[in-house]
Amino acid sequence: MKKELKKTLFKEVPVKILLTVYREGETYPTEVSYSLEGSYSHIIKTVSKLEEVGLLESKISGRRKVIKFTDRGEKVAELIAGMLEINENGYSTNEEKKVKEILNKIEEIYETQLKGKDGISQKKARNIGKRLGPYKRELGKLEGSTNTQLVEQARKRIDEIMELKNQLRE
């Protein structure tokens, strides 16, 4: 049993499934596969392995399978979440810090490049766009694994700065 638990638990997908159930509570395997962008068949196989080792249990509700933690599974998920610094909302505090850092860097670009300016050159406008682009891509990667409102706030701020940049371009 311990060998099976090690083989099952110390892989990326089982951990992601446990963290998804930790965040969402009782849920459907289809919802987990959408959330993880994984194939339904792979998720079902992994859920079955997690059931075999006693971390998840399932029941049929109507025509759908519902999965939830066993007592042991909930304890394991709490330990994993603690190790990964996942807060009570199911979001990584490390990733939340990244979004806050991005927000600070976006504001720094605004403060140093645009605030109080009547106009900017084409070259400076391009430079601002090049500096904001990687932050927007990083926010896309963080979406879903951290506070969505914070990510949206940062994206909105980037859009506002880009709009202002276009208005000030000479």
pTM for the full predicted model: 0.51
CATH of domain 2-83: 1.10.10.10
- The yes-or-no verdict on residue 88 having pLDDT over 60 is no
- The yes-or-no verdict on residue 151 having pLDDT over 80 is yes
- The yes-or-no verdict on residue 38 having pLDDT over 70 is yes
| pLDDT confidence of residue 130 | 92
- The yes-or-no verdict on residue 15 having pLDDT over 70 is yes
- Top pLDDT among 54 and 81 is at 54
Average the pLDDT over 92-113 and give the result.
86
| pLDDT confidence of residue 49 | 92
Task: Quote the CA–CA distance of 73 and 15 in Å, as a whole number.
Answer: 11
* Domain boundaries of the chain, sorted by first residue: 2-83, 93-168
- The yes-or-no verdict on residue 37 having pLDDT over 90 is no
- The yes-or-no verdict on residue 2 having pLDDT over 70 is no
The token pair that represents 14 in the structure block: 């089982």
Task: Quote the CA–CA distance of 13 and 29 in Å, as a whole number.
Answer: 13
Task: Quote the CA–CA distance of 132 and 152 in Å, as a whole number.
Answer: 15
| pLDDT confidence of residue 168 | 86
- The yes-or-no verdict on residue 31 having pLDDT over 70 is yes
HEC letters along the chain: CHHHHHHHHCCHHHHHHHHHHHHHCCECHHHHHHHHCCCHHHHHHHHHHHHHCCCEEEEEECCEEEEEECHHHHHHHHHHHHHCCECCCCCEHHHHHHHHHHHHHHHHHHHHHCCCCCCECHHHHHHHHHHHHHHHHHHHHHECCECHHHHHHHHHHHHHHHHHHHHHEC
Average the pLDDT over 1-15 and give the result.
73
